[in-house]
Amino acid sequence: MYLNSAFSNQRQTLLRLRRQIRRSAQRYIGRYPNAMVVTLLLYNLWWKLRHIAGRSTTEVNALVSEFDTNEACDYIEGNFAGYELAAGTTQFSGRMLEIGPGGSAGGALLAREAGCEAVDLVDRFVVVADERRMSAVYQELARRHNVEQFRVGPSWSKFNLSEISWFEGHSAESFLSRCARESANYYSWIVSTAVVQDLYNPLSALRDMVTCLKPGGKMVHYIDTRDQGFFSQYNHELTWLTIPSFLWPALTRASGAPNRVLLHRYEAVLAELERKGLITYKIFITGLLGNTSLDKRQTLDDISEHLWAPPLAEVEAKKAGFAKEFRQVPSKYLAVTSFVLVVEKTSSSTSSN
Ligand SMILES: C[S@@+](CC[C@H](N)C(=O)[O-])C[C@H]1O[C@@H](n2cnc3c(N)ncnc32)[C@H](O)[C@@H]1O
């Protein structure tokens, strides 16, 4: 385990202990879905109290706590290449908003290199990273890319980068609703990777993002709608869909655990906004149940029948036990585990939705 020198030795020991408790809890409690429900409830309550006390800091983020320097740079590059691939362009300009960067300005630096004039980074949690180590990541990124020009000051620090601004400790929901009220038509790009599934109100955030985009502006969101191992480590992948819907927010809202908003609900909102003439959009499927990843840009209708067969059989076999909300959803939507939303605000559109 990587040691984070942003913390004192005493705090390091506490953090290691907490990690061990969390791992053991997952190992033992994870076998029993009801016990996991109680654990998530308590974990969420703990986070609620932390938010109330204004302590939204976290050290849990793979990029800053588990990857080595090269892996971190590969990951940052991979995410940015994902935006280019999904949007079908390498040309960036204007102001970008990245949601949930998880303490890293790596993606923002690549966006600046690709042509963005400024990048805003908003994250609900304040990721406490080892600045020395993150500085090594930025240095390696500068060896691979032309981003040295954006360093302000003698050494790399995420706070000293030209036209890259941090809004940590702000939820995307509150940030975007304010942006929609006060500065509509502001961003040329809004992007995220592995974040929208953790928003506590992703659909209203999506509507606000459309308002915040400039006409002709684009959004790319990679969304992973699996349960992050909470139930599936020892149970069927879809066990989390058996938990009653009225309980789910109480398990996840404050802690940032997955929101259980699945593909069909994003599609419904985007289809409505398209009907109103505000946007055009595409949804590419990147993963199906059973760890099937799809690397080409395939829509729901492009996926071949033989790829659908096993995940659909899984869904059908389990569907009767799902919460009512999910029993009514067409099985193909429940069989999708990850996807990317690519949205363009129409050039003529200036109104809010
Ligand atoms: C799984 S991490 C992904 C981090 C980063 N995008 C990456 O790919 O490494 C999810 C990120 O979303 C942030 N997040 C969760 N809920 C959020 C919210 N409501 N508003 C803004 N950020 C949020 C978390 O703090 C975390 O940084």
Q: Dump pLDDT digits (tens) for 18-68.
A: 667 767 776 778 888 898 899 899 989 988 998 888 877 766 565 656 788
| Residue bearing the bigger pLDDT, 279 or 103 | 279
Assess if residue 155 is contained within a domain.
yes
CATH code for the domain in which residue 307 is found: 3.40.50.150
Q: Look at residue 292 in the predicted model and tell me its pLDDT.
A: 87
Q: Look at residue 61 in the predicted model and tell me its pLDDT.
A: 62
| Domain residue limits at 332 | 9-345
pLDDT classification of 1: cutoffs 50, 70, 90: very low
Q: Look at residue 81 in the predicted model and tell me its pLDDT.
A: 96
Question: Does ligand 1 have an atom closer than 6 angstroms to the CB of 258?
Answer: no
Assess if residue 189 is contained within a domain.
yes
Q: Look at residue 8 in the predicted model and tell me its pLDDT.
A: 58
What does the DSSP 8-state code read for residue 33?
H
Question: Hey, whose CA ends up nearest to atom 24 of ligand 1?
Answer: 100
Assess if residue 58 is contained within a domain.
yes
CA of 219 to the centre of ligand 1 (A): 16
Question: Hey, whose CA ends up nearest to atom 3 of ligand 1?
Answer: 194
Assess if residue 353 is contained within a domain.
no
Question: Which DSSP helix (H) or strand (E) runs through 94?
Answer: none
Assess if residue 267 is contained within a domain.
yes
Assess if residue 1 is contained within a domain.
no
Question: Does ligand 1 have an atom closer than 6 angstroms to the CB of 101?
Answer: yes
What tens digit of pLDDT does each residue of 74-95 get? 999 999 999 999 999 999 999 9
Question: Does ligand 1 have an atom closer than 6 angstroms to the CB of 172?
Answer: yes
Query: What residues have CB less than 8 Å from 188, skipping those under 6 apart?
Result: 92, 93, 94, 95, 96, 116, 213, 214, 216, 217, 218
Contact call for residues 251 and 257 (beta carbons, < 8 A): yes
Q: Which atom from ligand 1 is nearest to the alpha carbon of 63?
A: 9
Q: Residue 286 above 80 pLDDT?
A: yes
CA of 161 to the centre of ligand 1 (A): 21
| Residue 78 in tokens | 């991979």
Question: Does ligand 1 have an atom closer than 6 angstroms to the CB of 124?
Answer: yes
Tally of structural domains, the chain: 1
What tens digit of pLDDT does each residue of 153-176 get? 899 999 999 999 999 989 999 999
Instruction: Go through 273-304 and write b for each residue having 16 or more CB atoms within 10 A of its CB, e for each that does not.
Output: beeeebbebebbbbbbbeebebeeebebeebe
Rounded alpha-carbon distances, angstroms, from residue 213 to 258, 279, 285, 350: 25, 10, 24, 9
Assess if residue 4 is contained within a domain.
no
CA of 124 to the centre of ligand 1 (A): 7
Give the closest residue to 208 by CA, choosing from 241, 233, 185, 240: 185
Mean pLDDT for all residues in the chain? 90
Q: Using most ligand atoms within 8 A of CB, pick from 63, 123, 197, 286 the residue to mutate for ligand 1.
A: 123
Taking the model in full, what pTM does it have? 0.92
Q: Look at residue 62 in the predicted model and tell me its pLDDT.
A: 57
Q: Which atom from ligand 1 is nearest to the alpha carbon of 201?
A: 19
pLDDT more than 90, % of the chain = 71
Assess if residue 275 is contained within a domain.
yes
| Residue bearing the bigger pLDDT, 126 or 274 | 274
